[in-house]
Amino acid sequence: MTPAEPERIELTRSGGFANIAVRATIAAGALDPAERAGVDALLERPPAAAARAGAPDRFQYDVTVVAGDRRHHVRLGEGEIDGSLRALIDRLERDAAPEAGGS
């Protein structure tokens, strides 16, 4: 049985100086090849376990890849956004909007 193809990617970015959370969701089919490579890199990482404290004034990225009824959630610190993830995170951040109600 092959795993379902990713349908969408969800991002919540929190932290930073103002600690204003933003969210974005993008359809997997709308990604270019470099952004899709970021999805593949996320799927290779272990899922996020428990919450961990972030560094002061740094961003934390909660990224979820949704494929059918499966969700693969990864929590990344700002310093963990490497070359394989940069295009995907940049795309999600461009599409991000502040959460209703702020922080």
Domain residues of the chain, as ranges?
8-72+82-98
Neighbours of 70 (CB within 10 A): 11
Report the alpha-carbon angle 62-24-59, nearest 5. Answer: 40
Q: What is the pTM of this model?
A: 0.83
pLDDT one-digit tens code per residue, 38-49: 999 999 998 876
Q: Which helix (H) or strand (E) holds 97?
A: strand 97-98
Taking Cα atoms as reference points, which of 16, 7, 37 lies closest to residue 93? 16
22-27 vs 8-15, strand pairing mode = antiparallel
pLDDT one-digit tens code per residue, 2-27: 468 999 999 999 988 888 889 999 99
